[in-house]
Chains A and B, each alone.
Chain A
Amino acid sequence: MIQLDSVTKVYRMGSVDVAALQEVSLSIQRGEMVAIVGPSGSGKSTLMNVLGCLDVPTSGVYTLEGEEVGQLSDDRLAEIRNRKIGFVFQTYNLLPRISAVANVELPLMYGRTPQRRQKALEALERVGLSERAAHRPTELSGGEQQRVGIARALAKSPSILLADEPTGNLDSASSGEILSILLGLNEEGITVIIVTHERDIALETGRIISMLDGRVVSDEPVGSASRNGPTAGRGA
């Protein structure tokens, strides 16, 4: 469902062009759970932005569910993000002034989806946070905030869930919770892509794509034994 063909992304930094992605080609099938790993500056965030339709490639072809998203206008990209992609951020990025359920409603509001409140509450229930729906993000713990973030990403039933360092700001207990929620969603059939630099998180997924200097240096499946096994080394 995701197909990248020699995608290159060049940023202009002052007078120098920096290639954040160089000729990246890969494909991800529906229902996969993929980890993108690599040191900072390796291009994994740029890859994430391109996959999430937040940015368009400088060259190359990106096809998402048969639709080429390479050269679409900002507004068309916004529409695709709204319909197909759920974002989970490292810093949660919840709007602080509105309640948890109102945050979850955001993508539904921009997509003009009917019965927003009900759908948002259902999404909160899927992450086990129904009873905190009326709380503001500031009244929630980090783990709870990230669960609201996941509920928000889920609310419009996206094809892909993109999580950028989803456990980066969390303690190990909360990290474990978030990871198991993501694994559970993947088992329900949602394609999940996680950007992480934590090896043991990556090992929980089905496939690890390693990035370095804007290129994919390795792309290999993770043994199913490892995937369903205990989270060794995390002490969770």
Chain B
Amino acid sequence: MSPLDTLRTAVSSLGANKLRAGLTVLGIVIGVTAVISLMSIGRGAQEAITSRIESLGTNLLFVRPGSVSQGGGVFGGQGSAATLTLDDAYALLDPTLASSVAAVAPELRTSGQIVAGRNNTFTQIVGVTPEYQFVRNFPVASGQFISGTHVARRSEVVVIGSSVAETLFGLRDPVGQTLRVNGRRFTVIGVLESQGGTAFGLFDDQVLVPITTAYYRLASQRTTQGGVSVQTINVEVRDEGAMDRAIQEIATVLRLRHRLNGEDDFTISSQQETIETLEETTETFVVFLGAIAGISLLVGGIGIMNIMLVSVTERTREIGVRKAMGAKRRDILLQFVSEATMLSLGGGGAGVLMGLAVARLIDGRTLAGQSFQTAFSGDIAVLALVVSAAIGLFFGIYPAMRAAALHPIEALRHE
């Protein structure tokens, strides 16, 4: 029997019971739709995060305190020690020892309760210097950014993220208003531009204060050597080609300043590494979403197997007739396997289209307080089609084998 005849026979058999075929296909359609739309959402989130980080430029390095053993030999995690200071940050601007460094932006993170009138929010407070605005690419939408004077005077001024502004002030202009951070009165001098779009909304829900203010007025942590301790020094390198050299230079400067000979008490990581780590994490998340959706695909596959088994029983006599007419085992096997595969592949195709439609529909909308961004990629579609074809084969092969193994005489006698 030619492959074309096999396909034709399968189509005509499926066509004989359209409602049943349709309902069976529906199981796969729903499964594939779920896989496609959930994975598109996952990929969307991944892209949003990656592009936000990439927009900072790939010529960024992060210097963080390394883990140092403390007292009883307990190792803290990266960033847990307070070994980097504001002076360390400015020392990296040395034009001879660290010529590849273009700018530094130290930061000190803490968190706290922020109250304005009857509204309050608990959020991230980042102590920064004026350079932070350019190095981390946080332009202000209104008002001004923290200035050198603010840092020098430990001024109690704050630049707030757009979602903080909305929470605390609603539609009013926050610039010039006062608010309380951990009980202290601060003046709002600016509002950051919304970074928008990310499913996680990391960057809009934070407030910036002068780094000295953060250290002396808000944070509890003090460095042992005196001076303002910082958690991260963002370093902008002059050009991307000089990344490795910059890492060497920074390490040299810090080793000199910390009088180190042996283990470093700081770590330097690049933007690229951060992106890679994040991508790994979010990829896991995407695969996890896909796997959950895959369960419904599995259920669809079981539906196919069920219907194929019923079909083999119902058509036992037909199988007997075909065998009497000279159909070989393989002919019968292929006929039923192609029926199952057609069901699953048809469902897969329809599911890809539906999934695409769902992803389109969700894209850019806010649902349950989360703004969604979706990204559809061909590889997900191909994967979904391949998986659904495989499901048809897998769940179709057993019923088909039963059909092929039927003895012609018994099949012909079947009532």
Contact = CB atoms under 8 A, between A and B. Distances in A.
Interface in B312-366: 317-318, 320-331
Contacts of B328: 74-75, 78-79, 110
A82 B12 contact: no
B79 interface: no
Contact of B326 (A93, A94, A97, A107): A107
Interface string B1-23: 11001000000110010000000
Contacts of A23: none
A107 B16 contact: no
Contact of A112 (B1, B320, B412): B1
Interface stretch (A30-38, A48-56, A64-72, A172-180): A48-56
A199 to B, nearest CB: 25
Interface string A91-108: 001110110000000110
B242 interface: no
Given A78-B323, A95-B318, A109 B329 contact: no
Interface in B371-415: 408-409, 412
A41 to B, nearest CB: 15
A83 interface: yes
Contacts of B12: 97-98
A74 B322 contact: no
B3 to A, nearest CB: 11
The size class of the interface chain B forms with chain A is 20 to 34
A87 interface: yes
Interface string A106-132: 110111100000000000000000000
Contacts of A152: 325
A25 to B, nearest CB: 22
Contacts of B408: 54
Contacts of B325: 81-82, 87, 106-107, 110, 152
A95 B207 CA distance: 77
Nearest to A153: B325
Interface string B136-180: 000000000000000000000000000000000000000000000
Contacts of B13: 97
Q: Which of A55, A79, A106, A107 has the most CB of B within 10 A?
A: A106
24 contacts: A54-B408, A54-B409, A74-B329, A75-B328, A78-B326, A78-B327, A78-B329, A81-B326, A82-B326, A83-B326, A87-B324, A89-B412, A93-B412, A94-B321, A97-B12, A106-B321, A106-B325, A109-B2, A110-B1, A110-B322, A110-B325, A110-B328, A110-B331, A112-B2
Interface of A: 49, 52, 54-55, 74-75, 78-79, 81-83, 87, 89, 93-95, 97-98, 106-107, 109-112, 152
Interface of B: 1-2, 5, 12-13, 16, 317-318, 320-331, 408-409, 412
